[in-house]
Amino acid sequence: MRLRYVCFSGLFGLLFILPNECAGQESPRFRAELGYLYAFHDDLGITKKDWIRVPGTWSDPSNYDGQSQYAFTFRDTSWYYPFNHHLPFINTRYRLSSNSINSLEVSLLQSITINSWRQLSFMWGAEFVYRPVDWMQLALQGGFISGYHAVTDLQNPTLLPIEGEEGGVLLGANATADFLLSEHWKIRLSYNPLVTGLGLAYDLTKDK
């Protein structure tokens, strides 16, 4: 929950404070974009299992052999969570550094999306960008990701639970490849160990 407040505060600053400070620069430090990814998963969903106590099944432990304080009936229960394939997102970036020809860039990145579990997810971290040609850019993002409470424990070596039950906040990474169609539109291919995404992004920032 604390990370969510930090993300909200950071988004407010990036959306309303930094644009005014950076408006006079030829190449804006602040950029914002809207986008949509269609997600491809290895499986259609995930199944979570647990033992659930059956209400009204208490009995006196003295009726059984051995010593115990409680005696209830439990049932083996499973839930199936189908993955969400439609991932809209809002990204904001604040450029920290770049080389003279803007082929290399480091930025602070914050993102809000509806994730694969149909939960609102916040990401706060850094992005490293490389532009080999004018019409393409490659990027690596890493940081804290929230919005995974009470769905799955996500036992994956590339995803490190930070706080909350069952990996509510994760430390993870993502890679993207953008193919520029125009000054504002781009095709985006996104990959991480859990999901591959393909879609469009629209840059809201006007270049000077």
CATH number at residue 7: 2.40.160
Q: Considering the domain boundaries, does residue 133 fall inside one?
A: yes
Q: Tell whether 54 and 37 lie within a shared domain.
A: no
Q: How far apart are CA 32 and CA 42, in angstroms?
A: 31
Domain membership of residue 61 as a residue range: 46-81
Amino acid 51: pLDDT: 76
Q: How far apart are CA 96 and CA 88, in angstroms?
A: 26
Q: Tell whether 179 and 109 lie within a shared domain.
A: yes
Q: Considering the domain boundaries, does residue 208 fall inside one?
A: no
Q: Tell whether 65 and 30 lie within a shared domain.
A: no
Q: Tell whether 30 and 107 lie within a shared domain.
A: yes
Amino acid 118: pLDDT: 81
Amino acid 136: pLDDT: 96
Q: Considering the domain boundaries, does residue 35 fall inside one?
A: yes
The structural domain count of the chain equals 2
Amino acid 25: pLDDT: 44
Q: What is the DSSP letter of 84?
A: P
Q: Tell whether 162 and 94 lie within a shared domain.
A: yes
| Residue 173 near residue 145 (C-beta atoms within 8 A) | no
Q: Tell whether 99 and 185 lie within a shared domain.
A: yes
Q: Considering the domain boundaries, does residue 26 fall inside one?
A: yes
Q: What is the mean pLDDT of each run of 10 residues along the chain (208 residues)?
A: 50 46 58 95 77 75 69 74 90 91 92 86 94 95 78 44 56 92 95 90 84
Q: How far apart are CA 37 and CA 47, in angstroms?
A: 24
Q: Considering the domain boundaries, does residue 154 fall inside one?
A: yes
**Is 181 strand, coil or helix?**
coil
